[in-house]
């Protein structure tokens, strides 16, 4: 009796293993059955993953705490002769958006404040452009991937109905159902890729907007820093 139980357990374990292998194979077969339009959908998924990773790292690397950066710049500028050169060298050490913007303003020191503001604005526009770089790719993928999926489903349905017509309606319902769910695979894949791209697009856009807000505040604080001595003299 005990030997029989052991034999049954081994049989159940083998059946379970075979079932898992069949499920894995079936999942791969599902992707293959989606048709040729699965290829561009997978390519879009790869591009989306690249943009998400690249932009995430770029935004995280661009952050500098302005509460620590600006006071150091202020002390250097007020230190006397050579303060501007030291401040620009300090900005070069960081090589971040905020340091490049501030450096553009320091280069214009001695000119009217309007010229300094223009230099900071131009540098800020460049940094915002680089922060938002490739974000339009994610937005495009979020819209194109589902459309590719729907296209694959429509073409698959057309083929299924063409088969029905060629067989004059004498079609096995199970075979027809198989053709339909195969056509729906591209829709599912396209929607998944589109959802991933759209979700991370909004997530990254929020991080970029926060970075832009910090840059704008830091630029305004730097301009106030430059004008503060003049205000004190007037009082």
Cβ–Cβ under 8 Å, residues 8 and 126: no
- Burial category of 2 from C-beta neighbours within 10 Å (exposed 0-12, middle 13-18, buried 19 and up): exposed
pLDDT value at residue 23: 46
**Burial call 126-135: b when 16+ CB within 10 Å, e when fewer:** ebbeebbeee
**pLDDT per position as a tens digit, 58-87:** 999 888 888 888 888 888 888 776 788 888
* pLDDT band of 153, cuts 50, 70, 90: confident
Cβ-proximal residues to 146 (8 Å cutoff; 6+ apart), any chain: 187, 190, 191, 193, 194
**pLDDT per position as a tens digit, 119-151:** 999 999 999 999 999 999 999 999 999 999 988
pLDDT value at residue 231: 42
* pLDDT band of 4, cuts 50, 70, 90: very low
For the chain, what percent of residues have pLDDT higher than 90?
36
Q: Phi then psi for 111, rounded to 5 degrees?
A: -95, 170
**pLDDT per position as a tens digit, 25-66:** 465 666 666 678 888 999 999 999 999 999 999 999 888 888
* pLDDT band of 6, cuts 50, 70, 90: very low
Tokens matching residue 147: 């459309």
pLDDT value at residue 127: 92
**pLDDT per position as a tens digit, 184-233:** 888 889 999 999 999 999 999 999 999 999 999 999 988 888 877 544 33
pLDDT value at residue 73: 87
Is residue 13 predicted with pLDDT exceeding 70?
Answer: no
* Dist CA 203 CA 219 (whole Å): 25
Half-sphere exposure of residue 30: CA atoms within 13 angstroms, side-chain side? 13
pLDDT value at residue 126: 93
* Dist CA 199 CA 202 (whole Å): 6
Is residue 19 predicted with pLDDT exceeding 60?
Answer: no
Mean pLDDT, residues 167-184: 66
Q: How far is the CA of 226 from the CAs of 100, 111, 126, 127, 133, in angstroms?
A: 17, 11, 22, 22, 31
Is residue 157 predicted with pLDDT exceeding 70?
Answer: yes
pLDDT value at residue 230: 44
* pLDDT band of 235, cuts 50, 70, 90: very low
Q: What is the pTM of this model?
A: 0.75
Is residue 9 predicted with pLDDT exceeding 50?
Answer: no
């Amino acid at each position: 009796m005990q030997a029989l139980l052991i034999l049954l357990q081994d049989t159940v374990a083998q059946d379970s293993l075979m079932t898992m292998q069949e499920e894995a194979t079936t999942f791969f077969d599902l992707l293959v059955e989606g048709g040729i339009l699965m290829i561009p959908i997978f390519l879009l998924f790869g591009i989306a993953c690249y943009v998400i990773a690249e932009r995430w790292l770029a935004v995280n690397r661009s952050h500098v705490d302005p509460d620590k950066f600006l006071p150091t710049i202020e002390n250097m500028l007020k230190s006397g002769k050579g303060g501007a050169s030291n401040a620009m060298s300090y900005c070069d050490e960081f090589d971040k958006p905020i340091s490049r913007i501030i450096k553009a303003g320091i280069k214009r020191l001695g000119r009217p404040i309007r010229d300094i503001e223009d230099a900071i604005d131009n540098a800020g526009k460049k940094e915002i452009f680089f922060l938002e770089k490739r974000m339009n790719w994610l937005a495009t993928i979020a819209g194109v991937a589902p459309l590719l999926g729907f296209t694959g489903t429509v073409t698959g349905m057309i083929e299924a109905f063409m088969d029905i017509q060629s067989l004059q309606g004498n079609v096995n319902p199970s075979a027809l159902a198989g053709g339909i769910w195969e056509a729906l695979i591209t829709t599912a894949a396209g929607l998944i890729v589109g959802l991933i791209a759209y979700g991370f697009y909004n997530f990254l856009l929020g991080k970029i907007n926060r970075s832009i807000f910090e840059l704008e505040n830091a630029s305004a604080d730097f301009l106030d820093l430059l004008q503060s001595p003049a205000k004190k003299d007037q009082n």
